[in-house]
Chains A and B, each alone.
Chain A
Amino acid sequence: MPDDRPHGAHRGGTVAVGKHGILVAERNAGALIRANRAGEPVTSLSFGGTVGQLVTDGAGMVFVADRAGDRVVRVDGRQSDALLEAGAVSVAEPFGLALSPDGATVYATSVADHALVAIDVPTMREQWRVELRAEPRGVAVSADGKHATVAFLSSGALAEVDLERKGEVVRWHSLEPRDHVKITREFDDWEGGITSSASIGEARSRFSVPTDEGRRHARNVFEVTYLGHGQIAAPHLLSTPQMKRVPSRGSADSYGGGPESIPPIVHQLAIVTPRPLGQARVHISTLPDLHQPRAVAYDAARDRLYVAGYGDDEVVGIADASMQTAYGAWHLDRRFDAGPSSCGPDGLVVDGDYVWMHCELSRRLVRLTPGDFDLSDKPWRTEKNGVELGPVLAASLRSDAVERGAELFRRGDDHRISDGGVMACASCHPEGRQDGLSWRLGGAILQTPMLAGRVTNTEPYKWGGLDPSLRASFKHTMLRLGGQPASIRGRELDDLTAYVRSLPIATRPTVSDADAVARGKALFEGELGCDACHDGDVMSDGLQYPFDAWGLDMTDTPSLVGLAHTAPYYHDGSAVDLHALVTDKGSVHEMADFSTLTETQANDLVTYLETL
């Protein structure tokens, strides 16, 4: 049932309907902007660096995640001609925001601290926090204000936090399916050829050899929203990183086994129905028309959900969203040219009969008019009219080359980048970070590396150190993806280079025990001698070593920058966390002698590693 209470204020986004117009958190301009209903900028407040989400109480108060400034800022927007900073609280790299139904508490996700932070609105002081897991992004508060659900980029589960118990109780809702993708090979006796096909079937018996082959993982949940009945909508990607390898394929190696009938990544929407004492029920829908579904908006009055594809600028309207028989009923085809003027939607909000979409790449607002969902006609029909494109809201803080690179990085459906355009760079490296998965690459199982802050002065690239430059690495990756790197122009490679080099270093978690960090550092640089290889600003000597690493002849010393955010560890993801790594429970055992570490020393070392 659609809930009567307004849901808009219960979660934030990059765009919101405010008292005097449309509010935009313009991340690449580092500003909060208010626009009129023609999508034209009216006033703004600069933060000087990238911002996360905003949330408004609808009465003029706005809260902004000053991501670069490590603050959650309260902005007084009650006057129609000004946005004035009116208090702030320190939160390490905030991103997602949501407001309690009574407007008394704002909840913020801290990317750096992997936490949900509750902030008292009148005093703008932190009330409590709960540590969740790496890469939190959007957050939404339930209509009754009792729960907040947090989305993550590198986890297959959502965290539902009990707000009444101040985060003491957290329930996790898995979005991942049990069944696997299976590749079967068929021999054609007439032609002598071999064909393969993919299907989805039950997981292997627990009495068979355990394998991750065919297992699927939900990733890249940027935003969540509550629907009626306390249900939670979570658009995401479903990745199959280790499909069965088909040796007959021409490519030397391939992501996820190649372009089978079930691609290595599909785009989905999960509708999660929590049950108080049991596991949540999860309904999954594929979103075949969207690439990298990210932004969501819920129209409570009509029980409609809108989802936008960050990778292809398309929007889907889903009718009866809170019903068991929700169905896609409206679809906006891409109508934005490729290149810097394309959209890259990162925000949606319902405004009466309209839906506002914010374009991250072109920094514009687009007003959509879905109209009636006419079931008696062709429900897949694309709405041809009612798309109003606003002007550029603000100048970007990024260079033109970085902007172009950002557009290419997120672009889906580009056959040059991947086979069939199924995968984009941002599919596995959302925001230039990593999905926490280990992918089959030819004969090796290799973990997705973090790019942000790790690509300058860290050549050569790839886990084996195979690529001497970023350009070579891009082309190599596109080849692995089944794309056509030869068709990528030199300037495009330069743009991609500019973009990934512009990605900021992941913010280090807040240090709670400086003494432990110092002791851990002493171990790292002393007894263990880790700094013999992991040294310098990027914590890498740029050399390769012959570790006994399955699938790799040589292993390139990886940068350790942002280590706290990149679990699991080692080239194959075999150490589930840093504690497993320093207690020698990964697949690499020759790197350092951890056998003499006491429990305290192991904990100190982990504490230090988390600060890199």
Chain B
Amino acid sequence: MKLRALLMLLPLCAACAASPRETPAPRTDPQVKPSLEAAAPEEPVVTEPAPSMALVRAEHQHPMTEVVLSPSGASALTLDAQGGVRLWRDVTADDVPIELPVEEPLWMSVAESEDGLRVAFVDTAGGSFVATVTFSEEGVSWRPAFEMPPTDPMFELHVLEGGARILALGVDHRVRLYDARGTTLATLDEHGVIPWQLRVGTDAQGKPVAAAVQFSPVRIQRLSLDEDRLALVGEAHTIGIDQSPNRNDIAMSPDGSYVTAMQKTDPKRGRFELEIIDLQDGSRRMLVGESDTLFRPRVHPLHEAILAETGSGQALRLSLDEAVPWTPGADRALLEPAAATTVPLSGSDDDSMMHATLQRGRHASARGDTLFVQSIDRQTKVERRPAPFVPVAAALDHAGTTVAWATETSIELEGPGGRTSLAASGEPIVVIGFGHEDTLVTVDAKGTAQIRTRASGEVLDEAALTVSWGVLDHGWRVTATGGTVVLGDDKPSAPLQVLHVEGTHFGAREAVATGKRASWPEGGKPRRVDSADWMTAMGLDLDALEIPPEALRTVRPNADDSLVIVHQARRFQGFDRARGVWKRGEAGVLTGVDAKTSKRLWSRAVDRVEDLAWSGDGSRFVYVDGTGGYVCDAATGETLSQR
């Protein structure tokens, strides 16, 4: 769903290279009928020369709802309940998926290509686009290839194996074949042929195969994509199904040799019938299965068998050898269920099986935050779920390229070189910072301050700060010779403590008088000081920024005081007329401000902020809130990475 909220007041919160008119050479068996006078569809807009943008890795923030495997089964796209899309380059690898700049697509497809991974999407208004995701030592990049407007809406967009061709079905029922730049290679637009759905696969020679589903009556029509031409192959085969055509009841084998048509006419029995139609010669066979549930099975045709997910955490494997010759109209009731073996499928239930895909013997489904990937034949399986990670404090190095996350149990350093972990002291860390000489400075909730090496975590020095009621506001500031720890206490009368760091050792400590606390904004605004006065002391104008005084929480300038981040907590309330209820709440906001002009640069919604820190050069900042940790660009407020 689009990012949504209730206002009032919930804020919101190229030309045809091979014209289909050219008559291909006559063929014999099977008969190939050339597509007739195909009107070239509207040419897609080619966005060239293709600039690119860096992508970040980020777990889904909401439960996954769809999984689409690439034709090879190696990569996948997943969609979550809020419309977020992630790319899994290797579904079996233990890394964080890549967040794509895509919003709640109606259709998505992925395939490996020579230059990375080609992805294709249809948006909610029917517009569609194709992009390439490339991988290099510098990171992951997104490069748009071409797009088609919603004036030429699409039902489906398939990136074919190899990534060099894209097969599309328009809402105008024309089938089109594009190359990776968006050039229309062929169009199928025949009178009397009205495809509603496509089935796509790869034959034994590695060539793409496809079939089109037509309605009234329901038929399956084999298509040829040879030599980048689209043509009908043979006659359409009538299909008997007991509900309207859909991708499960009419499924095609991976090599395009046959389709299955399922019927499950008795909802009170587990019996289901699979009519197998050979797309080469039109011959038909029948397989009957007996499910251990009453759900309509999820059908996956394989090369030698048909896998039927039953919704009970397993699938029935029905060998094609068990199929019996079949003539339409014969009495189905006389057929006995075939012998079947069972294949346990982790993550499969009656809901997830309807969102699962199977390619090259690899089955993928999603449930909640977990992606289940299982090899059908080898019985190996991988469960990809985000590792539990609850950061409580964070820091950035000088350039902002390495981030230190402190959790309840560990310190994790994440940078270009990968991740390393250090054990924490046992008490929750409230302050963490990058010190000089490859050190980390930490302070825990009991006031124990430590300087330790980044490499091994060896403690080089330790000091004790006083904590009365608990740590309230806090921070770490890098200086030329070391840095400064700032610690505010929840006890109103307790002074703000400042602990200096000189190189790898702690130095002097001081208690800051209320009148001088504006020099140490990390320690927060004293309770008795007016918000407007506090902002004035920071050199900012509360009114000009239109920040309600009662909403101000903290103000955090960067090292040279050129940029300031203001943390607000804004109240909202209003009447939801549709639901007939009053809504109230508090919304967190981080606002970046140019300190010289007091101009807002950006704002971003946040949850309850636990920690916020700048990179030494002021180009980035990191914060930790109730939803995780975020590294952001200081100029735009955009997320660069998140945990």
Contact = CB atoms under 8 A, between A and B. Distances in A.
Interface of A: 1-2, 132-133, 155-157, 159, 168-172, 174-179, 200, 202-203, 205-210, 218, 229, 261-263, 266, 269-271, 275-289, 302-303, 316, 318-320, 322-329, 331, 375-376, 378-380, 576-577, 579-580, 583-585, 594-595, 597-599, 602-603
B577 A327 contact: no
Given A282-B103, A286-B578, A320 B246 contact: no
A9 to B, nearest CB: 22
Interface string B570-582: 1111111111000
Given A375-B571, A380-B9, A177 B603 contact: no
Contacts of A281: 3, 103
Given A174-B123, A594-B191, A379 B574 contact: yes
Given A177-B124, A209-B246, A379-B9, 16 more contacts: A1-B599, A174-B123, A207-B355, A283-B3, A283-B5, A284-B2, A285-B4, A316-B7, A325-B587, A328-B8, A328-B9, A331-B8, A378-B573, A379-B574, A597-B191, A603-B39
Nearest to B251: A207
Contact of B149 (A172, A176, A200): A172
Contacts of B578: 261-263, 266, 286, 288
Interface string B541-578: 00000101011000000000000000000111111111
Interface stretch (B46-54, B231-239, B477-485): B46-54
11 contacts: A133-B151, A155-B125, A170-B45, A210-B196, A210-B244, A277-B142, A285-B4, A316-B7, A318-B7, A328-B574, A379-B9
B213 to A, nearest CB: 11
Contacts of B144: 277
B2 A177 contact: yes
Counting chain B CB atoms within 10 Å of each CB, the highest count among A172, A302, A320, A325 belongs to A325
A576 B172 contact: yes
Nearest to B1: A179
Contacts, number: 243
B151 A278 contact: no
Contacts of A322: 603
Contacts of B74: none
B12 A285 contact: yes
B106 interface: yes
A325 B12 contact: yes
A207 B260 CA distance: 14
Contacts of A266: 578
B24 interface: no
B511 interface: no
Interface string B164-180: 00000011111000000
B229 interface: no
A285 to B, nearest CB: 4
B101 A279 contact: yes
B39 A208 contact: no
A147 to B, nearest CB: 14
A132 B151 contact: yes
A380 B8 contact: yes
A320 B603 contact: yes
B295 to A, nearest CB: 12
Nearest to A599: B37
Query: 9 tightest A-B contacts by CB?
Result: A278-B101, A285-B7, A174-B125, A288-B577, A599-B37, A328-B8, A328-B9, A205-B354, A178-B104
A279 B102 contact: yes
B46 to A, nearest CB: 9
Contact of A288 (B13, B81, B127, B575): B575
A261 B3 contact: no
Contact of A284 (B12, B39, B546, B602): B12
B2 A282 contact: yes
A40 B574 CA distance: 36
Interface string B119-153: 00101110101000000000000111001011101
Nearest to A602: B39
A283 B127 contact: no
Q: Could you tell me the dominant secondary structure of chain A's interface residues?
A: loop
B600 interface: yes
A290 to B, nearest CB: 9
A156 B150 contact: yes
Given A280-B103, A283-B2, A375-B570, A269 B127 contact: no
B45 A209 contact: no
A319 B103 CA distance: 26
Nearest to B51: A277
B626 to A, nearest CB: 15
A207 B246 contact: yes
Contacts of A319: 546
Contact of A178 (B39, B105, B171, B298): B105
A174 B105 CA distance: 10
A289 B1 contact: no
Contacts of A280: 103
Nearest to A324: B605
A576 B192 contact: no
Given A157-B125, A174-B124, A209-B245, A323 B7 contact: no
A86 B338 CA distance: 85
A284 B3 contact: yes
Contacts of A375: 548, 550-551, 570-571
B149 A170 contact: yes
Counting chain A CB atoms within 10 Å of each CB, the highest count among B4, B66, B121 belongs to B4
B575 to A, nearest CB: 6
B368 interface: no
A155 B150 contact: yes
A235 to B, nearest CB: 11
A131 B51 CA distance: 26
A100 B548 CA distance: 35
A177 B125 CA distance: 9
B65 interface: yes
A132 B103 CA distance: 22
Nearest to A172: B127
Nearest to B241: A209
B269 interface: no
A229 B246 CA distance: 43
Contacts of B577: 288-289
Nearest to B80: A202
Contacts of A379: 9, 572-574
Given A276-B53, A277-B53, A207 B248 contact: yes
B8 A325 contact: no
Contacts of A598: 37
B589 interface: yes
B502 to A, nearest CB: 40
B53 A203 contact: no
Contacts of B575: 288, 380
B7 A1 contact: no
Nearest to A269: B7
Contacts of A323: 589, 591, 603
Contacts of A270: 2
Contacts of B142: 277-278
B125 A599 contact: no
Given A1-B601, A285-B12, A279 B103 contact: yes
B167 to A, nearest CB: 16
B600 A1 contact: yes
Contact of B171 (A576, A584, A595): A576
B602 A595 contact: no
B243 interface: yes
Counting chain B CB atoms within 10 Å of each CB, the highest count among A156, A175, A206 belongs to A206
A579 B39 contact: yes
B1 A376 contact: no
Nearest to B141: A277
B11 interface: yes
Nearest to B83: A178
B12 to A, nearest CB: 4
A327 B594 CA distance: 23
A285 B5 contact: yes
A500 B150 CA distance: 30
A133 B7 CA distance: 30
